[in-house]
A and B are shown apart, each in its own frame.
Chain A
Amino acid sequence: MTVNAVCLHKRTAPCKRPGTCGESVHIALTVNGHAVETDIPVDLTLLDFLRENLGLTGTKRGCGEGDCGACTVLVDGQGVTSCVMLAVQACGRDVFTVEGLAQGGRLHPIQEAFLEVGAVQCGFCTPGMLLMAKQLLDANPNPTRKEIVAQLAGNLCRCTGYTKIVDAVDLAARKMRVLS
Chain B
Amino acid sequence: MTPDSQPVTITGIGSVSPHGPLAGIIPKLRLEPTTITAWTTEGQRRAFLVPPFRPAAVVPGLKTRRLDRLSAWALVASSLAIRDAGIDLTQIDRSRVAVVFATAFGCIELTEAFYLSAAAHGWNGTDPVTFPETLASSPASHVAMFHGLRGPNITVSNKYFGGESAILQAAGVIRHAQADLAIVLAGDTLAQTLYAWYEQADLLSPACYNSNPVEDDGFVPSEGVAALVMESSARIKDRPGGRNYARITSGRWAAASGHPAEIIRQMLHGARPTVAICSGNGAPCALSPTSSLARETTGDDCVVTSPQAFARGLAGSGALFHLISGLGDLADTPRSHEQALFLGTARDNGFAAILLELS
Q: Do A and B bind each other?
A: no
**Which A residues form the contact surface with B (CB < 8 A)?**
none
**Which B residues form the contact surface with A (CB < 8 A)?**
none
